[in-house]
Structure 1
């Protein structure tokens, strides 16, 4: 039986937030959302393009690879 490849998304948003010296509350304020929303984002496995743009803007970067990695699992 052949197994299909899987893609795993690793969310390191919490690390990206901390590396900029921000708390989740400060990041939430920059995004214009509440703290529970940021907590959910830090655990999320998929994002809309609009949300990715919003996160990048709040982090002050254009590089989504700073907080999202996609790994192909064979």
Structure 2
């Protein structure tokens, strides 16, 4: 307890404020990284869905051309 009482607030408060600022930055970075990863996953899923729909459309067009020929 004596060690805590002997801490000079002239450097301890800016140090604590800086540490809090760094921790907030790390947290914000983690949140933005997670959000970016989720957006990338959704985009990849949407691209796969569009590719499957495109493949199905081309297959049906080729089949229709064979049937009507």
What TM-score comes out, normalization by structure 1 length?
0.23
What TM-score comes out, normalization by structure 2 length?
0.25
Tell which has more relative contact order, 1 or 2 (C-alpha 8 A, sep 6+): 1
Pair member with larger Rg? 2
**Which structure has greater strand proportion?**
1
**Which structure has greater helix proportion?**
2
